[in-house]
Structure 1
Amino acid sequence: MKKRQKDSAVISLHGIVKRFYIGKPNELEILHGIDLQVEQGEFVSIVGESGSGKSTLMNIIGALDRPTEGEYFLRGRNVGETGDKELSMIRNQEIGFVFQTYNLIPRTTALENVELPMLYGKVKKTERRARAKELLELVGMGERMFHKPEELSGGQKQRTAIARAMANDPSIILADEPTGALDSETSRKIMDIFHELHKEQGKTIVLITHSGELAEETDRVIRISDGRI
C-alpha cells in the first residue's frame, strides 16, 4: 500500500531537492529543499526569473520528473513510490497541462487535438467528440474547431490548449507561462478563462510565470529565487 499524507493539500512537497548529474564528480543542484502546499481549489502563481528553478519545480509538480530527494504527495499519493505506468495515468487524469508553446499536433484539427487525451482514457468516440465540442465552445473556439493549428492565431491556439487540458476533467491545471507568447489583449482573455475555470468549476490552478502583474491576480503568490521559495 502506498504511503499517503495526512494533510489536506492536493499538492504537498516536503524537502524537495533536484540535482542534475553532468558526469562524475560534477553535479548541479537546482532546487534546494522546497516545501510547498497547495490546497484544493486554490489559484496560485509561482513567480521567478529565468534560471530561478521554476521550470524544474513545474516538472516535479506535474509529475514529469522526479525529485532527487524529498517527498511529493499528489492528492495524497506519494509520487516517489508510484510506478511509471501508474504515474502516466495520474498525469492524464489528474493534471491538465497548458504550455507557452501550445504543444498542439500540427496535422489535426482543434477538435481532434482536444479529443486526444480522452483516447488514453478509452472514452467512446461519440462521447469524446461531444465533450471536445463542449470544451471548445466554453473557451470561445466553437467557430474554429475544425481548423488546424496553422490556421489559428496564437490566442486561438492557447484557447484550444486550455480546452485540451480540460478534456479529462482534471482537478488541477498546471499552466507554464501560458501568456508568454501573446499580446496584452489576448493575454487578458486567456487569464479571464483561467479565472472562470477557477471560480465556476473550482479548479486548482498553478500558474508558472515571470510576470508579477499576472501573478498578483492569483490568490497567492509564491516566489522562487535560486532554487528556494
Structure 2
Amino acid sequence: MSKNVIDMKNITKSFYIGTPNQLNILKGIDITVKEGEFVSIIGSSGSGKSTLMNIIGALDRATSGEYVLDGTNINEISDDGLSEVRNKQIGFVFQTYNLMPRSTALSNVELPLLYYGMNRKQRRERAEELLDLVGMKDRMAHRPNELSGGQKQRVAIARALATNPSIILADEPTGALDSATGRMVMDLFHKVHEQEGKTIVFITHNNELADETQRIITLKDGNIISTMENSNYYRRYQEEEKICL
C-alpha cells in the first residue's frame, strides 16, 4: 500500500489586519496525498489555493493544524529545517519559471544540486540527464532570454527534478503559456508522473487541466468543498492502451 507523502489535518491560516480584526484564509483543511499520486487543487481567485500551496511547499507555516510531509512533522522543525525540506523533498515549478536570468539552462538545473552538496562532475551529469528527459539538452547552453516560454518551463521542470524530491509542486505552470505550448508542458508532467513515478500536486484554476489528474480537490472560500477521484484520467489511459494494442 502506498504511503502518505502529504498528511494535513485541520490546517488554518489567518492574517491579522489590525486588532481585533483577522482575515481567515484557510478554515480547517484536511488533505492526504499518497506516494505516486497526480492530484490537482483547483479554485477561483481568492479560494485560498495559493496560500495552501505555500504551506504544502513549506514556504509558509499554518496558523494551526498538523502537517506531516513525507514523514517530517513540519510543525516541529526550525526555519533552517524548512529550507532543507524545500531543497530535498519538494521540487517547485512556478507560473513565472523563476529561472536565474544570467545563468544557462544547465546552470539553472545544477543550482539545487550545489546546495545539495553534489560535486561538479555529478551536478553536470545529473543536469544533462534531466535536460535530456525534458527535451532541452540541445539548449543547455542557452540563457532564459534565449528561450521560449515553453522551453523555460521545461528547464524549470528539469530543475524541480534535480534533487530527486518526493513531491513536485506546480503552481499554475501553464498559466503564462499559449494553449499549444501549455499542452506540451502538460504532456511533460504526465511523462514525469508515469516514467519517474513522481507525486505531483498541481495548482490550477483550469478545469480542463484538473480533469487530466487522478484526483481533484476543489477549494472555495478557504474550505475544501469536494474531493473527487477522476474516472476520466483512468479512461484516458485505458483508451491510449487500446490504441497502442
Runs of 4+ in structure 1 displaced over 4 angstroms? none
1:194 aligns with 2:193: no
- Using the TM superposition, give the Cα deviation of residue 8 of structure 1 relative to its aligned residue in structure 2, in angstroms: 3.4
Q: How does 1:31-180 map to 2 (within 5 A)?
A: 31-180=26-175
Q: TM-score, normalised to structure 1's length?
A: 0.96
Give the letter aligned to residue 75 of structure 1.
D
Q: Is the 8 A contact 2:37 2:198 kept in 1?
A: yes
1:205 aligns with 2:225: no
- Using the TM superposition, give the Cα deviation of residue 72 of structure 1 relative to its aligned residue in structure 2, in angstroms: 0.4
1:181 aligns with 2:152: no
CA RMSD of aligned residues (A): 1.0
Equivalenced residue count is: 223
Identity of matched residues, %: 65
- Using the TM superposition, give the Cα deviation of residue 227 of structure 1 relative to its aligned residue in structure 2, in angstroms: 0.4
Q: Deviations over 1:112-157 (max 9, x none)?
A: 0000001111100011011111111110111111011011100000
Give the letter aligned to residue 61 of structure 1.
I
Q: Deviations over 1:172-199 (max 9, x none)?
A: 0000000000011111111111111111
- Structure 1: segments with no counterpart, 5+ residues: 1-6
Distance 1:9 1:166 in 2: 20
Distance 2:196 2:131 in 1: 16
Distance 1:196 1:153 in 2: 20
Q: TM-score, normalised to structure 2's length?
A: 0.89
Structure 1 residue matching 2:138: 3-state secondary structure:
coil
Q: Which moved more, 1:16-25 or 1:117-126?
A: 16-25
Q: Deviations over 1:53-109 (max 9, x none)?
A: 000000000010000010001012210111111111111000000000000011111
Distance 1:23 1:131 in 2: 49
Greater RCO, CA 8 A, separation 6+: 1
Partner of 1:9: 4
- Structure 2: segments with no counterpart, 5+ residues: 225-245
Give the letter aligned to residue 145 of structure 1.
M
Distance 1:40 1:87 in 2: 20
